[in-house]
Amino acid sequence: MTNNFLVKQYISDKKNYLGMFIKGFLINFINIGVLVFWLGIIIITGPTLENNLNRFVVFFSTMIGVYFFTDLVKILLAKQLKKKLTPTRIVKVKKILGFILVICGLVLIIKGFLPKDQLNPQNLIEDIR
């Protein structure tokens, strides 16, 4: 009986978009990383916008609009991708990403131990040409 109630509550919570929006807003509101990001944007763009309120409104409205649009696109793409993901494909993707991360980590470690002029990616690209 209790499990059935929890499942129904979970399903009804998933369809409560206003509640999900408020939860997401509050989680991001208390996230110190988000706060630092937006304060950094204000500090960096303030002088270029001449601290004009109208310019700030246009700039931040445009930024938030672009974020909203890209989030909608990500949601639509995630729904399409969800249909094609199988457990075996997920494992393959995780293995490939893990391999790429290991290679990148090794390159960073090697670059940390070698002098600056050795293992320069620009030189490697020029040598290949």
67-121 confidence digits (pLDDT tens): 899 989 998 898 888 888 888 999 999 999 999 999 999 988 887 887 766 666 6
Residue 128 is assigned to a structural domain of this protein: yes
Tokens of 107: 């390159």
Among 10-14, 45-49, 108-112, the range scoring the smallest mean pLDDT is: 10-14
Residue 125 is assigned to a structural domain of this protein: yes
Residue 104 is assigned to a structural domain of this protein: yes
Residue 70 is assigned to a structural domain of this protein: no
Residue 95 is assigned to a structural domain of this protein: yes
Q: Which domain holds residue 115?
A: 85-129
Residue 59 is assigned to a structural domain of this protein: no
Task: Name the phi and psi angles at 84, rounded to 5.
Answer: -95, -15
How far apart are alpha carbons 67 and 73 in whole angstroms? 10
Query: 5 pLDDT exceeds 70?
Result: no
Q: Crossing angle of helices 17-30/2-15, nearest 10°? A: 80
Residue 122 is assigned to a structural domain of this protein: yes
Which of 49, 67, 48 has its CA nearest to residue 57? 49
Q: How many domains does the chain have?
A: 1
Residue 103 is assigned to a structural domain of this protein: yes
The CA-based angle 113-118-122, given to 5 degrees, is 125
Side-chain half-sphere CA neighbours of 84 within 13 A: 6
Structure confidence at residue 100 (pLDDT): 97
Separate counts of helices (H) and strands (E) for the chain: 6, 0
Structure confidence at residue 119 (pLDDT): 62
Query: 13 pLDDT exceeds 60?
Result: no
How far apart are alpha carbons 50 and 84 in whole angstroms? 49
